[in-house]
Structure formats: structure tokens, C-alpha cells
Amino acid sequence: MIAKNKVIFSSGIMELVFRIGKFCPIKKRNFQVCCVGAPRSGTKSLAAIFARMCRAAHEPLARPTLKLVTDFEEGRYDRKTIEKILIGRDRFLSLEMESSHYLYPLAPVLLDLFEKSKFILITRNPVKWLRSMINKSVSTKRDDWWSEWYHRKFHSDAFHIKNGIDGLRPYLEYWVSHNQFVLENIPRNKLLVLDLESVRKGNLAVVWDFVWIKKNFFRKSRYS
């Protein structure tokens, strides 16, 4: 479990972001997109592509946001409170594109708060995804924040080969539940399901069409 002082620190950061965010000027957005694909599915790659032309980030404010999502899932925030915090966070970050896998439980709330927002569910072949998750699990030493998240989602902070097929089950169950939640809670006209292989091959026209990015935007953008 996360140490008590780290929980307070994390909550304090989000409270500060909320208070500061209320007074941040509203920056003009050309669009507002949130990628909520599962971890190891290409969320970082997609954020890097968007970052060439707009205000984009991969997992900003990761630790306090993880705490925020956990508190929401476990019922420690009511709807009104979570909405206020998310509005402050949005103002503070002022992004046009955010790519954070752990935001998916908040997608319905974000959809209600930001009417023009759109969502991308980037997916990956489940076998390749599983292999990537296991490799990351056994090769990375996590701090307490990510260890707790892994315990909550996979019932362990790392894959153990001694568990055999039973060790794989939580990963596959998570892959299904994550993608299913997004598909069931975001309307089709607000959601683009994107395959990682298409991104790697540079087949991004469907992305720009979905976001309504016109060709002249690339020439005008100061990020290009």
C-alpha cells in the first residue's frame, strides 16, 4: 500500500492544481482529444505524434491523477467534487490532447464536462500486448504508486512465471474490462478505435478526419 505521507502529498498536489486551475486563463483549443487505450497499447506513441503540432502530453501529473482515479473508483469522491477537480486540472494543463490509460474510468465524467471532447481507444493485438505487459512487468522496478495500481488491476505488482496460466489471467481480464468499459460508455460518434499497427505504418488520415484537423492546420501550427 502507498505510505500515508505519500497519499497526503499526492492529494495535496491535486488540490493545489484544482485551486490554481480555477484562475488559469482559458486557452483556445482547436480540438480536445483524450486517448484512453490500455497501457502498452501505444498511448505514448500517439501522444508524441500529436505533440508535433499541438499541446499534447502523455500521462501528465501521473501520481496525483492515479490517486484521483483510485479515490473515484473506490467511492471517496462524489460526482460534484470530481467534476470540480477535473475542471481545475483541465484548466491547469490546458491540453488539446492527453494520452493517459488510467483516465478511462473517468471518461463518462469528462464527456459530460467537455461537450466537444473526443476519445481515442488505441488497441493492440492481445498476444503482443500481453507479451509487452509481461516484459515491462518483470523488467521495471516500480515505485509505490505504480505498485499499488498494479496490485489493484492485476492482483500483483509483477508477473511471476511460477504462477503459470493463472498469472496470465488477470492481465487478459484487465485487457477485456478496460476496452469493454470504453466501448460501452463512450458514444460511437465520440470515439475512434485505432489499431497500433496503423499508427506505426503512418496511416493517420482517419485520426485527422476524426479530430477534424484540416490540412492547413499543419502549416499554421507552431508545433509542426
Task: Supply the range of the domain harboring residue 58.
Answer: 8-21+32-219
The total of structural domains in the chain comes to 1
Per-residue pLDDT of the chain (224 residues; tens, 9 = 90+): 333 344 444 567 767 777 777 788 888 999 999 999 999 999 999 999 999 989 999 999 888 898 889 889 999 888 998 999 999 999 999 999 999 999 999 999 999 999 999 999 999 998 999 889 888 877 767 667 777 777 788 766 555 555 555 578 888 889 999 999 999 999 999 999 999 998 998 889 999 999 986 555 544 444 43
CATH of the domain at 70: 3.40.50.300
- Domain-embedded: residue 79: yes
Q: Is residue 27 part of a domain?
A: no
State how far the Cα of 15 lies from the Cα of 21, in Å rounded to an integer: 10
In a domain? residue 26? no
- Closest among 198, 224, 217 to 45, alpha carbons compared: 198
In a domain? residue 1: no
Instruction: Say what the pTM is.
Output: 0.85
